[in-house]
A and B are shown apart, each in its own frame.
Chain A
Amino acid sequence: MIIKKAQAGSLESSDCLVTVEPADAYSMSYSGQNEAIFKRRTERLALEIATRLSVCAHISIQDQGALDVTLRARIETALERAAGDEGVRA
């Protein structure tokens, strides 16, 4: 369960900064230098994680050229940080 605002990652090159906020419905926003070509990929990837973990939250991603694997890890960490002690799925 997402109970607070939290961040993970950074604005270093090849990383991304993911911000998660509690929300009534899932939504996401994506910005960065690769917006024109990676918007759809990133939306797909974030939705997949949110669905798998049954998360309702607003996820915002500032991409500095992160790989798929980095995006996944940062989203997961942000969700975990934003969740209560009982975990993301609780």
Chain B
Amino acid sequence: MKMIKNSLGRLVPDEIPGVGKFEPYVSPFAYLDRKLTSPAKSAYPIHPQPPRRDKVTSDIRQAIERSGLEDGMTISFHHHLRGGDAVIPLILRALSDMGFKGLTLAPSSLPDSHDFVADYMRSGLVTRLFSSGARGEVGRAISNGEIEIPVVLRSHGGRARAIEQGDISIDVAFLGAPACDKWGNMTGSAGRSACGSMGYAQLDARHARHVIAVTDNLMDYPLRPRISIPQYLVDQVLLADSIGDPAKIATGAVKISRNPVDLKTARNAFDLLDASGLMVNGCSFQVGAGGASLAVAAYVKDYMKENKIKGSFGLGGMSGYMVEMLEEGYFEAMLDVQSFDKSVTDSMTRNPNHIEIDASCYANPFNKGCVAHNLDMVILAALDIDTDFNVNVQTGHDGVLRGAIGGHPDTAAGAKLAVIVAPSFRGGVPTIKERVMTVCTPGETVDAFVTERGICINPRREDLRRRARDAGLPVKDIRELKAEVEALTGVPDDPEVDESRVVAVVENRDGTLLDSVYKVV
């Protein structure tokens, strides 16, 4: 494995044995110069069927045998069932019992709760992992160097690109379906395991050679009134006792933080949005569901109300708060690739302006126009950030994989204004680093970093800095704020890693490599 330095000064491999060759990262939109086009005849999975074939089985072994799955092939899952997911454990156990080996696991992401996946990676059932993130025991196993082939970590848009371009070639997709009919029409908007949008699953259903819907809720045919994934994309319907724990799938409504540090951060971020001049009629907005992020949405809502502004669309992972903004008329539509809480799951059935979009539509830079590319403002969280505004959402300060990239780099690259929010220090550890351990979102795509102690604006955005200063906002140089915080916390050491052993790579949305993750010592 030869290591090359990319434009961010990060060493990345030119090839991962057993996975393929990679190019180093150049710049956010360098891919435009490559003039990529599709082959004359695109390979869309076909599977000729006789009339009236019954797709339903409750025999898991039979379903797997019929799929034609072999050792070394690639399987996928979606993560819409989050911490409550029972599909991945069900299928992996069956595959393990059937003696499969050397599979590539390519889920849209791995839920927090899926520590058992580490055991299947150790046992040899799974030898390659492509994911949006790796947490808990899985993250530890990878970071400890227990998995031989480096893991490829991609953003949601990057995964969609990889699937459509053929970098990820899914042989069998096992798609948990909260509501499904006997011919495989599915939706996430109904059933005891309802999860809302199935945006990530839609993509897999379109491109996997064999698609198995896994459901605990067989509905009368035809499924109605909504269909997220239509029957013509589905090979089999596997009836299971349970696809998940409803209490952990759709959690209670995400509440706005009452932590004064989060609220102050949110206030500063909102003030910056205000100063940017982007909060006008027809604006679009994405915000996460965590800590300070949702509090920013609350300030935005108050502002829109007071100034009689109506936005065009809200995007991304949908929380109840965003749906509330839709219902109260602050946005024309919500474009939903993934739903976060219980109040969202049936909203799409009730409200035609709550629109389900797939992962490619959301963030794939290589299709004919993803929504992330016409987003005005996005508020994103971070584990840490460096003085070049590179953001890490993947490795903790012990160097161990613990996060997921999600749509972070996609929306940062696409939005007119990408604002990172985080406390200036957390658990005694400063958030601003000289050099983040792992670049997940390149600093070139980040416009501002906002904390409770002030606002740091990327020098590439002098216009924004001027606007913020004119509005009297607490603008600070990022190095100045770093020094201010380190005066309190002390300067942390970098965790010790073994740079001769790459355990994972972070792929940019265009397929080039942003950074390598090394084995911890």
Contacts and interface: CB of A to CB of B under 8 A. Distances in A.
What bracket does the count of chain A residues touching chain B fall in?
A: 10 to 19
Given A38-B428, A40-B493, A63-B428, A69 B488 contact: yes
Contact of A38 (B399, B488, B492, B496): B492
B488 A65 contact: no
A82 B33 CA distance: 69
Given A67-B488, A68-B488, A69-B488, A39 B493 contact: yes
A63 B489 CA distance: 13
A51 B427 CA distance: 28
Contact of B427 (A40, A65, A69): A65
- Tell me what chain B mostly uses at the interface: helix, strand, loop, or mixed: loop
B427 A37 contact: no
Interface in A22-60: 33-41, 45
Nearest to B495: A36
A64 B427 CA distance: 7
Nearest to B487: A68
A38 B492 CA distance: 5
Contacts of B429: 34, 37-38, 65
Contacts of B495: 36-37
Contacts of B491: 41
Give the one of B399, B427, B429, B488 with max A CB within 10 A: B427
A66 interface: yes
Contacts of B148: none
A34 B496 contact: no
Contacts of B496: 36
A10 interface: no
Interface in B328-374: none
B427 A33 contact: yes
A7 B341 CA distance: 44
Contacts of A39: 493
Contact of B489 (A33, A35, A36, A68): A68
B144 to A, nearest CB: 14
Contacts of B426: 65
Contacts of B493: 36-41
Given A34-B428, A36-B398, A37-B397, A67 B489 contact: yes
Contacts of B489: 67-68
B494 interface: yes
Interface string A11-25: 001100000000000
A26 to B, nearest CB: 21
Contact of B428 (A36, A40, A65): A65
Contacts of A63: 428
Contacts of B428: 14, 34, 38, 63-67
Nearest to A41: B490
A30 to B, nearest CB: 13
A34 B426 CA distance: 11
Contacts of A37: 397-398, 429, 492-495
A36 B397 contact: yes
Nearest to A70: B428
A7 to B, nearest CB: 19
B427 A13 contact: yes
B492 A34 contact: yes
A67 to B, nearest CB: 5
A24 to B, nearest CB: 30
A37 B428 CA distance: 11
B427 A34 contact: yes
Contacts of A35: 398
A67 B496 CA distance: 22
Interface of B: 397-399, 426-429, 488-496
12 contacts: A34-B428, A34-B429, A37-B398, A37-B429, A37-B492, A38-B490, A40-B493, A41-B493, A67-B428, A67-B488, A67-B489, A68-B489
Interface of A: 13-14, 33-41, 45, 63-69
Q: Top 8 A-B pairs ranked by shortest CB distance?
A: A65-B428, A65-B427, A37-B492, A36-B398, A36-B495, A41-B490, A68-B490, A67-B488
